[in-house]
């Protein structure tokens, strides 16, 4: 009964939002309404967000920096209900080198139900969770996806969860200038580590350090191939982000190093014997990279442009407007 009540509340919210969007924006003559539950969610490197929605008006839609966004902000993850009006076709840049994009329809105006709706099992690579079988995905007609065929639809879903590999463990994302909505510095700063190797890696005792101080990862921390580990100062960080329950978060000593300086600092990752694994420097710190990667902007993260490239230069990195720990 409670679940039915909550689903009813979501439907009432979305219906009200649709009325507001349609009445408040009569000038969007060529736009059409869309709405459904997010089944695939993927951040794009061109500051966009790709969302593959289920019925009643599903399909591949892309949130862009120009989208008028209401209520709970941009799409945050699988399980959310999104509702709004569409714009022209748009491209999600998945990787830049080599270039790989996913197509969709841009979102002109959008609202959401907030956190994931109750009773939803997120999509994963092995299966179409929550009762969404491959057959039920295929049942959506080409017309309902505004010209997106079944084959292209399938390739979008597969590509979203087939990440290119880099061949070894690397630092993949750094969050050093914390938006107050996501905690405070230095405790809620975080570093994402990606295992691009083909085997599970034991990270017990691995050393992570900024320009001033070092920390060791706790014992028993392992990372499977193709998976991410989020390292942060305090356990509260996990509660401030919408993270899948399978994403592991490790907290260390209240801060990473001596606290990551947004205007200029460095980050290194070493094995327990001191062997260098990966490093990066940004802003005014040119100790590792010269030129260095960009200095941090409030609320943005420093992210690798592609997970199959490690040239040990600043060209590997970009400032990303939608931080996504563990994804």
Same domain for 202 and 314?
A: yes
Please check whether residues 141 and 11 belong to one and the same domain.
yes
On whether both 10 and 98 belong to a single domain, the answer is: yes
Q: Decide if 26 is inside a domain.
A: yes
% of the chain beyond a pLDDT of 70: 74
Give a yes or no: residue 326 inside a domain. Answer: no
**144 falls in which pLDDT band (50, 70, 90)?**
very low
DSSP state of 275: -
Contacts of 98 (CB under 8 A, 6+ apart): none
> Does 219 lie in the same domain as 95?
no
pLDDT: is 166 or 130 the higher one?
166
Read off the pLDDT of each residue in 303-321 and give the average, rounded to a whole number. Answer: 88
pLDDT given for residue 147 in this prediction:
37
Lowest mean pLDDT among 23-37, 145-159, 183-197, 249-263: 145-159
Q: Which residue has the higher pLDDT, 167 or 125?
A: 167
- pLDDT computed for residue 253 by the predictor: 81
Range 22-28 average pLDDT = 45
pLDDT value at residue 11: 54
Sequence-distant (6+) residues with CB within 8 A of 237 are 182, 183, 187, 188, 190, 230, 249, 251, 325
> What CATH number is given to the structural domain containing 269?
2.60.40.1260
Percent of the chain at pLDDT exceeding 90: 47
pLDDT on residue 106: 93
Q: 185 with 76, same domain?
A: no
148 is a domain residue? yes
107, 134, 160: which is the final residue of a domain?
A: 160
- Tell me whether residue 60 is in a domain: yes
In a domain, 173, yes or no: yes
Element counts in the chain: helices (H) and strands (E): 4, 18
Q: What is the pLDDT of residue 127?
A: 32
Give the pLDDT mean for 61-90.
Answer: 89
Same domain? 174 vs 312: yes
Answer yes or no: are the C-beta atoms of 227 and 197 closer than 8 Å: no
Tokens of 148: 């997106």
Three-class DSSP category at 237? helix
Predicted pLDDT at 131: 35
CA contacts within 13 A on the Cβ side of 212: 9
Stretch 217-225: mean pLDDT: 94
Question: What is the pLDDT, as a whole number, of residue 42?
Answer: 84
Q: Does residue 171 register a pLDDT over 90?
A: yes
Which of 141, 160, 179 is a domain's end point?
160
- At residue 77 the predicted structure's pLDDT band, cuts being 50, 70 and 90, is confident
Number of domains in the chain: 2
Q: How far is CA 22 from CA 32, 238, 266, 278, in A?
A: 9, 36, 49, 50
- Average pLDDT of the residues of the chain: 78
Enumerate the H helices of the chain as residue ranges: 2-24, 134-138, 150-160, 236-240
Mark whether 135 and 183 lie in a shared domain: no
| Full residue range of the structural domain in which residue 139 is found | 2-160
With a cut of 90, say whether residue 292 has pLDDT above it: yes
DSSP string, 34-90: EEEEEEEEEE-TTS-EEEEEEEEE-EEEEE-TT-EE-SS-S--STT-EEEEEEEEEE
325 in a domain, yes or no?
no
How confident is the model over 92-101, as a mean pLDDT? 76
Listed residues 113, 139, 160: the one ending a domain: 160
Residues 110 and 42 in one domain: yes
| Within-domain flag for 327 | no
Same domain, residue pair 111 and 251: no
- Residues 46, 193: one domain? no
Same domain, 232 and 269: yes
Let me know whether 148 and 224 are in one domain.
no
In a domain, 219, yes or no: yes
């Amino acid at each position: 009964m409670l679940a039915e009540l909550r689903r009813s509340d979501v439907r009432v919210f979305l219906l009200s939002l649709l009325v507001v969007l349609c009445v408040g924006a009569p000038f969007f003559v060529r736009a059409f309404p869309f709405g459904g539950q997010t089944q695939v969610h993927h951040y794009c490197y061109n500051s966009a967000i790709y969302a593959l929605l289920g019925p009643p008006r599903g399909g591949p839609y892309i949130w862009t920096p120009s989208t008028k966004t209401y209520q709970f902000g941009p799409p945050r993850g699988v399980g959310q209900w999104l509702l709004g009006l569409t714009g022209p076709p748009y491209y999600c840049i998945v990787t830049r080198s080599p270039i790989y994009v996913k197509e969709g329809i841009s979102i002109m105006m959008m609202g959401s139900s907030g956190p994931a709706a109750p009773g939803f099992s997120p999509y994963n690579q092995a299966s179409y969770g929550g009762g969404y079988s491959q057959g039920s995905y295929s049942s959506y007609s080409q017309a309902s996806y505004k010209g997106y065929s079944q084959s292209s639809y399938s390739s979008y879903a597969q590509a979203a969860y087939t990440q290119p590999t880099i061949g070894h463990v690397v630092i993949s994302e750094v969050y050093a200038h914390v938006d107050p909505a996501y905690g405070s510095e230095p405790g809620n700063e975080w570093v994402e580590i990606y295992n691009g190797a083909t085997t599970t890696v034991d990270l017990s005792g691995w050393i992570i350090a900024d320009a001033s101080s070092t920390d060791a990862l706790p014992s028993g921390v392992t990372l499977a191939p193709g998976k991410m580990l989020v390292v942060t100062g305090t356990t509260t960080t996990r509660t401030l982000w919408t993270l899948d329950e399978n994403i592991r978060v490790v907290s260390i000593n209240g801060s990473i190093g001596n606290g990551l300086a947004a205007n200029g600092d460095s980050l290194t990752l070493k094995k327990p014997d001191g062997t260098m694994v990966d490093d990066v420097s940004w802003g005014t710190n040119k100790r590792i990279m010269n030129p260095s990667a960009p200095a941090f902007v409030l609320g943005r993260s420093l992210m690798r442009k592609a997970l199959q490239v490690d040239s040990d230069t600043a060209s590997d990195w970009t400032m990303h407007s939608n931080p996504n720990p563990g994804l």
